[in-house]
A and B are shown apart, each in its own frame.
Chain A
Amino acid sequence: MSPAAPGTAPAPGRPARRTGSGFGRLLVTVYGILAFAAIGRSSYELATKFSEAPVAYSLSTLSAVVYVVATVALAKGGPRWRVVAWVTVGFEAVGVLAVGAASVVSPDVFGETTVWSGFGQGYGYVPLVLPFVGLWWLWRTRPRGAGSDDDATPTAPTAPEPTEPVAPDPEVR
């Protein structure tokens, strides 16, 4: 996990903006709704017809769990939750692209449709757009500044910025 001390000691320089505030409020809302939709779908599938297409329905369940964790991580937004958010949102981005592509190339590959089939077509392409908006938002709200631990994932290599005054940035909300 993060090499720096957990949340109690903010790194010098510009602190991370809350991932659940401002535009993030909306992001978490949409994630939450999608999480609900995915849970509803997968529990319905598991309860009534799991044996018909175990692969598709397992995939639905997996995506539902990941959506829930991503929603919580984005809402909490502490240093460790931020890492969790990077991983889960990144997983969704890969998932929707991989499953979407597979479902286009070979429609019967999973036996049944999933949340991610046709790049999230059944959900107004929200599952396709959302992870990339989420990654952009995590990037935008990342902690930065001198000596900060930055993001602990390779997807977000933060170029070391010139040393800024240690005083908190007055423009931070």
Chain B
Amino acid sequence: MVLPLLIVVLLACAALAGWALWFVVRDRAVILRQLIGAAVVEALVVVQAVVAGVLMATRDHPVDGPLFWGYVATALVVLPVAAIWAFAERTKWSSVVLAVAALTVGFLDWRLWQIWGAA
């Protein structure tokens, strides 16, 4: 993993969560543009995973592989599933769900960084 990419992902998660929380305050449900935002965050996590995979393969970086990839898998699954689940609800709770999912992905990404460095 590389630090700039981590920061980008964390900022993207924070932005998505902030956007969703703003919608909670305004009592609105998730809109399509937020789903596109979630897709961008997801794409960033994918890029991060690919970069990590390349680094692992080329640089002999010692990492607890199963643990790391388990977290990657969880981070990749949470947002799409939560986005669909949120979009099907048409109250403000829809936005709460998206915010929680974005914060969770941010947290998982932070854990990934710890696992990457701790090995």
Interface residues of A (CB under 8 A from B): 21-26, 28-30, 32-33, 36-37, 40, 43-44, 47-48
Contacts and interface: CB of A to CB of B under 8 A. Distances in A.
Contact of B74 (A22, A28, A36, A47): A36
Contact of B97 (A25, A40, A47): A25
B96 A26 contact: yes
A29 B85 contact: yes
Nearest to A37: B74
B91 interface: yes
Interface stretch (B2-10, B42-50, B63-71): B63-71
B67 to A, nearest CB: 6
Interface in B68-104: 70-71, 73-74, 77-78, 81-82, 85-86, 89, 91, 93-94, 96-97, 100-101, 104
A25 B89 contact: yes
Contacts of A47: 66
B107 to A, nearest CB: 9
A122 to B, nearest CB: 12
Nearest to B98: A29
Contact of B66 (A25, A32, A37, A44): A44
Size bin of chain B's contact surface: 20 to 34
B77 A21 contact: no
Given A21-B93, A32-B81, 18 more contacts: A22-B89, A22-B93, A23-B93, A25-B85, A25-B93, A26-B93, A28-B85, A29-B82, A29-B85, A29-B86, A29-B100, A29-B101, A30-B100, A32-B85, A33-B78, A33-B104, A36-B78, A40-B74
A36 B86 CA distance: 17
A24 to B, nearest CB: 8
A119 to B, nearest CB: 20
Interface of B: 66-67, 70-71, 73-74, 77-78, 81-82, 85-86, 89, 91, 93-94, 96-97, 100-101, 104
Contacts, number: 50
A26 B74 contact: no
B77 A36 contact: yes
Contacts of A23: 93
A28 B85 CA distance: 9
Contacts of A37: 74
Contacts of A40: 70-71, 73-74
Given A25-B86, A33-B78, A37-B74, A44 B67 contact: yes
A23 B24 CA distance: 12
Contacts of A43: 70
A115 to B, nearest CB: 14
12 contacts: A21-B91, A23-B93, A25-B96, A26-B97, A28-B85, A29-B85, A30-B100, A32-B85, A33-B78, A33-B100, A36-B78, A40-B73
